[in-house]
Amino acid sequence: MTQTRLVEVRQNVLKHNDVLARELRIRFQKAGVFVASFVSSPGSGKTAFLEKTLTKLRSQYRITALVGDLATANDAARLARAEVPVKQIVTGTICHLEAQMVSDSLQDWDLNELDCLFIENVGNLVCPSSYDLGEALRVVLMSTTEGEDKPLKYPTIFNTADVAVITKMDLAEAVEFDLKAAHASIQAVRPAMQVFEVSSKTGEGMDKWLEFLQAKFVDGQV
């Protein structure tokens, strides 16, 4: 006679990713590399923002970038214009980066030779939220053209991020972007989150962002 038995398991489904991310975080800390990841919807200006950031910091720090996309190496080519080492992770059909992909991409880079690593996730406001990449800082971007209520529609990704950046501020007036409403949306899903307002095109707000980032390097929050 067959019978059903209840077996207790208690195991995190993403254990494999979490364990790997923890290992990466320890490796980054030991090598003194500050790692920041960037998440947003497609077209919010992640690559332009990163290109600007990399260009501004490259004379002072040894910086590299990893960039994830479903297909093409276009973004890596764009980021390479900042004249820093860049690697493209082509995920195929996968809609997010995982710790394993980051780990694999680092194989021929000596972490001790680096100060900072930027990871640009696949443009997606849903899936990347579940996957820890071992980063010290997760930055979520939203552009003025996307609407003020983006955080209310995708609360999980905003909640798992450490800071938010509102991009394309140069277009704010043209699209009648309500900055106050945008800040309220962000605070509703992640109270006390620090927010930067920038335009990668005009350079508006970049100084404040770079100052914040450089303080992180100095603080040794790596």
Report the interface residues with another protein, using CB under 8 A.
2-14, 16, 94-96, 126-127, 129-130, 151-153, 155-157, 159-160, 187-193
Sign, Cα dihedral of 50, 55, 56, 60: positive
Residue closer to another protein by CB (options 29, 130) is 130
Q: Report, in Å, the least distance between residue 120 CB and another protein.
A: 18
Q: Report, in Å, the least distance between residue 99 CB and another protein.
A: 14
Residue closer to another protein by CB (options 3, 59) is 3
The DSSP code for 170 is: G
Q: Could you list the beta-strand ranges (E) of 46-159.
A: 63-69, 86-90, 116-120, 137-143
Closest CA to 44 of 192, 158, 136: 158
Closest CA to 97 of 193, 20, 195: 20
Residue closer to another protein by CB (options 17, 64) is 17
Residue closer to another protein by CB (options 116, 189) is 189
Q: Report, in Å, the least distance between residue 102 CB and another protein.
A: 16
Residue closer to another protein by CB (options 46, 190) is 190
Sheet with 163-167, side-by-side order of all strands:
86-90, 63-69, 116-120, 34-39, 137-143, 163-167, 194-197
Residue closer to another protein by CB (options 46, 150) is 150
CA distance 177 to 146: 9
CA distance 34 to 25: 10
Q: Report, in Å, the least distance between residue 163 CB and another protein.
A: 13
Q: Report, in Å, the least distance between residue 61 CB and another protein.
A: 30
Pull the structure tokens for residue 4.
């059903």
